[in-house]
C-alpha cells in the first residue's frame, strides 16, 4: 500500500542578488537561486519537468514551464539529493518565485513536488 511518505521531495532554496549582472537604471535586477532537491520519501523518483510562477514587485506574473532543470532530469534514490543553480531577471528590486516539479516515481505514479515561495530581493531594499 502506498502512503504519503512514499513520495516526499523536499526543496530548499538560497538566493543571491547578482549586482554585476544587474542594471537598475534600466529596471533589470538579476538574481541567482541555488536549489537542493532531496528525496525524503521511500520511493525513487525522476524529475520530469518544472513549473515556475515568478512575480515581481509590481505584481506582474510570469509562468515558466519546461522539461527538467538546467538541461537535466535527475533520478533521485531515497535519501539522495540533486543541486543546481539558475537565475531570473526581474524589472523590480523585489519579487517572489514559487512552483512545482513534476515527478514520476519508480512505480510510475506521477506527483508534484512543491517549490515553496521564496523572496528575491536587492540587499537593504526591505527592512
Stretches in the chain below the pLDDT threshold 50: 1
Second CATH level (architecture) for the domain 4-119: Sandwich (2.60)
So what's the pLDDT on residue 3?
54
pLDDT value of residue 126: 74
The continuous run of DSSP H or E covering 11 comes out as strand 9-17
Residue 36: name the closest of 115, 98, 102, 120 by CA.
Answer: 115
Rounded-to-integer distance, Cα 73 and Cα 107, Å: 17
Residue of 126, 117, 91, 127 lying closest to 15 (CA atoms): 117
pLDDT value of position 83: 98
**What pLDDT is attached to residue 125?**
83
Domain ranges of the chain: 4-119
pLDDT of residue 68: 96
Q: How is 52-110 classified by DSSP, letter by letter?
A: EEEEETT--EEEEEEESBTTB--EE-TT-EEEEEEEEEESSSEEEEEEEEEEEETTS-E
pTM for the predicted model, two decimal places = 0.91
Provide the pLDDT for residue 1. Answer: 46
Amino acid at each position: 500500500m502506498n502512503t504519503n511518505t512514499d513520495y516526499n521531495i523536499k526543496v530548499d532554496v538560497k538566493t543571491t542578488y547578482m549586482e554585476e549582472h544587474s542594471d537598475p537604471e534600466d529596471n533589470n535586477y538579476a538574481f541567482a537561486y541555488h536549489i537542493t532537491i532531496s528525496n525524503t520519501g521511500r520511493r525513487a523518483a525522476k524529475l520530469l519537468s518544472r513549473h515556475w510562477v515568478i512575480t515581481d514587485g509590481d505584481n506582474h506574473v510570469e509562468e515558466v514551464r519546461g522539461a527538467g532543470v538546467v538541461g537535466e532530469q535527475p533520478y533521485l534514490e531515497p535519501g539522495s539529493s540533486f543541486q543546481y543553480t539558475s537565475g531570473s531577471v526581474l524589472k523590480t528590486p523585489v519579487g517572489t518565485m514559487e512552483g512545482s516539479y513534476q515527478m514520476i516515481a519508480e512505480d510510475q505514479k506521477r506527483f508534484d513536488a512543491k517549490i515553496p515561495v521564496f523572496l528575491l530581493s536587492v540587499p537593504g531594499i526591505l527592512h
